[in-house]
Amino acid sequence: MQKPVTQEELAFVACESDRFESEKIKWRNELIQQTIEQREREHEHNISVAREEIKKRYEEAERIREEKYKQWQKFCDKLNQQYEKERLRRQKDFQAEQVKWKQEAEKYERRIQAQKQEVINRQLAEDEKKRQALAAIKAQKEAIAADKKKKEEEAIKAAEEKRIAKENEKLEAEKKALNKLSSDEALKEEERYRQCLKLINDKIAKDPQLKQASLESRKTITLVLNTLTNDRMKIIDTASQLDRIFKNVQNSNQRLYYFLLNYTAKGIVNHAEVDVLSNEAAAFPFAHVSVLISTEHPDFMEKFMMARFVKKCPYVLPRYYAKLPNQNINDIKKQMGYKQNEEEDTYYKRMCAILALYCAIMQTVPLIPNRVNPYSMDHAWIWLARLLNLPPRKITPFLLYIFLKVTGTQMLQTFKGQATKIFNVVYKAYVHQPPPEVKALLTSSPAAMSRLKTFLEDASRKGFTEPEGSVPK
C-alpha cells in the first residue's frame, strides 16, 4: 500500500516546483540577455563593417576627386599658359605696330619740318641777296656809313630770324588748340575782359552820383557820336572833344573818368550794332575815333572797348560755344550774345557788324602823326590764326569774309610774304581743297560759303582791294 503524501512533502514539492520555475525563468532571462548581447555584438560588428566600408568608399571618392582636381588644375594651367602666350604675342604685335606708327609720324614730322625749313631758307636766301645787292651799291660810301649800314642789316637779319622763330612757335602752339571751342589764350582774355566788365558794372556804371555828375558830358558824347561822319576833320574834331572831356576829370575824379570811358565805349559798340549793320563803311569813322582816344587814354581800348566787344560778340576773340548736357538753350544763347527772341540770321548780321568795327580798329592808322595804334595788325594776325585753328562752325564763313574784306589789304602791307602764306591756307581750306568739316558748311551756310568763295577767288586773281570808307575824305 502506497504511503500517503504528507503535508511537508507537498510543501517541499511545491517549493521545489517554485524553485524550478524560478531557475527556469532565470535561465530564460540569462538566455535572453545572452541573445541580446550576441545581437548587440553582431550589430556593433555590422556597424563597424559598414563604417569601414563607408570610410573606404569616402577615401576612394576623395582620391578620385583629388585626381579630378589635379586634372582640372593641369587643364587650367595649360589654358593660362596658352592665354599668357597669346597675350604676350598680341602685346608684342601691338608694340611693333606702335613703333611702326611712331616711326611713320616722326618721318612725317621730319618731312614737314624740312619743308618749313626749306621755305625759311629760301626766304633767308632772298633776303641775303637783297642785302648783298644793297651792300654792293653802298660799298663806295664812307667807312662810317658802311659800318652803320652793316649794323642795320645785322639788326634786320636778327629781327627777321626772331620773327620767323616766333611765328614757328605760334604755329606750333596753334596746332595744339585744334578741336577746341577756343584757344587757351582767348579763354584767358575772355575771363579777364569779363572780370573788367563785372567790375565796371558793380563799381561804376550803376552809381547814381556818377550818372548825375556826368549828365552834361554824356549829352555831349552822345551828340558827337550821333553826328560823326567819315570826314577827316570831323573825326579829329570828335576825338579831340572826347579827349578834352576825359582829361577834364582824369586827375580830379578817377571814378568819373572811368564812367565816361565806359559810356563812350558802350555808345561806339551800340553804333556798330545799328549803323554798321546797315553799312559796313560806317565802321571806319568810329574805328578812327576809338584809335585816337586810345593813343591818349590806353585804358579805353583794353579795359572798356574790349570788355564791351566780348560781352556783345565773343567772336572778336574768337570764341565758340557748345551746348552742354542739361544746359538750357536760352542760357547758351545769352553767352553767345543773342538778344531776346532774336533770329539766327539777324544775330549773324549783328555779330558781323560788331566784328567789322573790331577789324576796322585793328587796320586803322592814326590820322594824327606820331601816334601808334595800340590794337594794330598784330592782333589781326592772332585773330586769324586762332580762327583757322578752330573747327569751323556755321557762322565761320560770315566771320572770315568780314575779316578779310576789312583787313585783307592791310594784312598784306604789314606782313607781306607771311600774309600771302596764311591767305593761301585760307584759299586752300575754303576753295581749292576744303576738308570735310568745311564742305559741311556748303549745306549749313550755302550763301555765306558762296560769297566767301567768290571773294577769295577774286582776291587770288586781282588781289585785295581797299575796303570802302577805310580812308576818310
Condensed to tens digits (0 to 9), the pLDDT of residues 1-17 reads 556 667 777 777 778 77
What is the spatial distance between Cα 276 and Cα 354, in angstroms, rounded to a whole number?
Answer: 8
Query: Which is nearest to 276 in space by CA: 312, 300, 301, 306?
Result: 312
What is the spatial distance between Cα 428 and Cα 434, in angstroms, rounded to a whole number?
Answer: 6
Contact 318/359 with Cβ under 8 angstroms?
A: no
Flag whether 277 is in a domain: yes
Structural domain containing residue 369: 177-462
Contact 424/454 with Cβ under 8 angstroms?
A: no
What is the spatial distance between Cα 64 and Cα 73, in angstroms, rounded to a whole number?
Answer: 14
Grid cell locating 319? 570764341
What is the spatial distance between Cα 194 and Cα 218, in angstroms, rounded to a whole number?
Answer: 24
How much is the pLDDT for 264?
94
Flag whether 155 is in a domain: no
What is the spatial distance between Cα 360 and Cα 467, in angstroms, rounded to a whole number?
Answer: 10
How much is the pLDDT for 175?
43
**CATH number of the domain to which 364 belongs:** 1.25.40.510
Backbone angles phi, psi at 180, to 5 degrees: -110, 165
Domains identified in the chain, total number: 1
Flag whether 280 is in a domain: yes
What is the spatial distance between Cα 448 and Cα 452, in angstroms, rounded to a whole number?
Answer: 6
Q: Which helix or strand (DSSP H or E) is residue 303 part of?
A: none
Flag whether 9 is in a domain: no
Give the contacts of 373 (CB within 8 A, at least 6 positions apart).
291, 294, 295, 361, 362, 364, 365, 366
- Count of other CB atoms within 10 angstroms of residue 355: 25
> Whole-model pTM above 0.85?
no
Grid cell locating 191? 575771363
How much is the pLDDT for 409?
92
Provide the 8-state DSSP code for 281.
G
Q: Which helix or strand (DSSP H or E) is residue 88 part of?
A: helix 7-137
Flag whether 263 is in a domain: yes
- Count of other CB atoms within 10 angstroms of residue 311: 16
370 backbone φψ class: left, alpha, beta (φ>0; ψ -120 to 50): left
What is the spatial distance between Cα 307 and Cα 316, in angstroms, rounded to a whole number?
Answer: 11
How much is the pLDDT for 411?
92
How much is the pLDDT for 173?
45
Euclidean distance between the first and the last CA atom of the chain, given in angstroms as a whole number: 193
The parts of the chain modelled with pLDDT lower than 50 are 171, 173-179
Flag whether 355 is in a domain: yes
Flag whether 3 is in a domain: no
Q: What does the radius of gyration of the chain's CA atoms come to, in whole angstroms? A: 50
What is the spatial distance between Cα 387 and Cα 399, in angstroms, rounded to a whole number?
Answer: 9
Flag whether 4 is in a domain: no
